[in-house]
Chain A
Amino acid sequence: MKKALILIFSVVLLVLSSPVSSAKPVNVADATPTDHPIYPPV
């Protein structure tokens, strides 16, 4: 029951925070850059 409520709440939040009218194409670059350091020898 609690989980379902959280799920509904999350969906409502998402709907509210992303109005369709201002939707823009997903830009991969907007996401956090992935981490690719080069480690020293083992």
Chain B
Amino acid sequence: MEFGALIKFYRTQKGMTQAELAKGICSVPHLSKIENNSKEANEETISLLLERLEIGLEEMDEKEGLIQTLLGQLGEKINYYLKDKIDEIYQKLQEMEHIIPFSKFIHTYELYKYRYLLFKGFLAEAESQKDLLFKQKKNFSQHEAYLFRYFNAVCLIMKGQYKAADELLEALHNEPSNETQNAEFFYHRAFVKGSLEQSGHAIHFGKMALQLFMNEHNFFRILHTLMMLGINYTQSNIYEEAEDCFKHFIRNAELLKQDKLLPQIYHNMGYLQNKKGNQKEALKYYEKSLALQPINNPHYLVTLYSIGEIQYLLHETAKAKECFQVVSSVAKELGVKKYRLLADFYLFHIVSPEKAFKYLESKVIPYLEGTNEHYNDLTSFYKMLSGFYCEQGIYMEAVKYLNKIT
């Protein structure tokens, strides 16, 4: 505990002068040195000063111990994804916020506050917390510096900046410390690799995460990892494994009463069937998923868009149009640019393919290329454009788009 700063804080709060506090205990210059931490005071002096300020020395030590315990619990609950318990612990820590700056856990507290804000999805607050921590980073211990960089990677994932997150996680992984040998780290690596459409890597890290989560009986994270593995097996055309993951997921989600995750899993089972070419089966799963979702939700957009694509594929133009119209308006409302652009592309295509492809070239492709993330989307749109120009006899343009497919 930083007693100097603590004494100064409480003396100022009580409106006492240094002379009033020091009277009969020590000299004013001595107190001044204690307060500025330039002099190590003996325990007896500290105890007398705290007593005059009506603060118990033992009580302060106990509080420091409690801060340490609460921080450990907060980290553990985040790791175990125990959403309900997290707020309770964070609340307790906040109640001690006036003491924490005087404890040796000041940086750890601020770091876990950053992680908590990310966990809750409060991105703007998390960014401010990151800026605050950035100014302190020179004072971090090795472990604190690791946590800061790791949480920055989590922040990048949440912002959808997967390439930058991947580079940061890779750099952390290559460092000699053993900090990265944990399930959550592998889970996040798998998450990033999957989002970058590097499914082989995602499966590799996902399996490592799954094993470690199973060792620690981390049931919620086991579910999340199964979902991620299912997606990546689907992307790699390993359909049987994907189906196994989804089946395990549904069985365990029901056991754990995680009904909130069911719409997501039904969507991903639709995605699997779509990838296998079973569009009608896919449609059933997507519709099952959609029925369980609230409308003003980014996941709702993705599911409805997927339904629209299949309806269009099945030449059900009127139904597809209805889907894309809703996607376009909800995406606008939620500020999800990608799905607004994609839905508008299809809406143009229903009326005039020429107009749609102009829109694709001028709006959709520049946006997708700008984000550096959506390779699969881009590949299919490059194929469409090259096919379109081929039909038009404009072969140079057709070749231009074929060359973009890597």
Could you tell me which A residues sit within 8 Å of B by CB distance?
Answer: 7, 10-11, 14-15, 18, 20, 23-26, 28-42
Residues of chain A within 8 A (CB-CB) of B396 are: 11
Interface contact B234-A37, CB-CB below 8 Å = yes
Cα(A40)–Cα(B81), bound, Å: 12
Q: List, sorted by A's number, 17 A–B pairs whose CB atoms are closer than 8 Å.
A: A7-B399, A10-B403, A11-B395, A24-B391, A25-B391, A33-B275, A34-B377, A35-B235, A37-B231, A38-B264, A38-B267, A38-B303, A39-B231, A40-B261, A41-B81, A42-B188, A42-B191
A-B interface, 4 closest residue pairs, ranked by CB to CB distance from nearest: A40-B224, A29-B313, A37-B231, A40-B227
Interface contact A31-B395, CB-CB below 8 Å = no
**CB contact under 8 A between A33 and B380, given known A26-B387, A41-B81:** yes
Interface contact A31-B377, CB-CB below 8 Å = no
**Whole-angstrom distance from the CB of A25 to the nearest CB of chain B?**
7
Closest to B345 in A: A28
Interface contact A36-B312, CB-CB below 8 Å = no
Cα(A34)–Cα(B382), bound, Å: 12
Residues of chain B within 8 A (CB-CB) of A34 are: 309, 342, 376-377, 380
**Whole-angstrom distance from the CB of B265 to the nearest CB of chain A?**
9
A-contact 0/1 string along B230-254, CB 8 Å cutoff: 0100110000000000000000000
Interface contact B399-A11, CB-CB below 8 Å = yes
Secondary structure at the B interface, as helix, strand, loop or mixed, is helix
Residues of chain A within 8 A (CB-CB) of B305 are: 36
Cα(A18)–Cα(B388), bound, Å: 11
Could you tell me which B residues sit within 8 Å of A by CB distance?
Answer: 81, 118, 154, 157-158, 188, 191, 194-195, 197, 223-225, 227-228, 231, 234-235, 261, 264, 267-268, 271, 274-275, 299, 302-303, 305-306, 309-310, 312-313, 315, 342, 346, 349, 353, 356-357, 376-377, 379-381, 383-384, 387-388, 390-391, 393, 395-396, 398-399, 402-403
Cα(A29)–Cα(B317), bound, Å: 11
Cα(A10)–Cα(B399), bound, Å: 7
Partner of B158, one of A29, A32, A42: A42
**Whole-angstrom distance from the CB of A31 to the nearest CB of chain B?**
5
Cα(A30)–Cα(B191), bound, Å: 30
Residues of chain B within 8 A (CB-CB) of A18 are: 390-391
**CB contact under 8 A between A28 and B346, given known A34-B376, A36-B302:** yes
Interface contact B399-A36, CB-CB below 8 Å = no
Residues of chain B within 8 A (CB-CB) of A20 are: 393
Cα(A42)–Cα(B156), bound, Å: 11
Closest to A29 in B: B313
Residues of chain B within 8 A (CB-CB) of A7 are: 399
Interface contact A28-B383, CB-CB below 8 Å = no
Closest to A41 in B: B224
**Whole-angstrom distance from the CB of B244 to the nearest CB of chain A?**
17
Interface contact B195-A39, CB-CB below 8 Å = yes
Interface contact A35-B377, CB-CB below 8 Å = yes
Interface contact B391-A23, CB-CB below 8 Å = yes
**Whole-angstrom distance from the CB of A13 to the nearest CB of chain B?**
9
Closest to A7 in B: B399
Interface contact A37-B268, CB-CB below 8 Å = yes
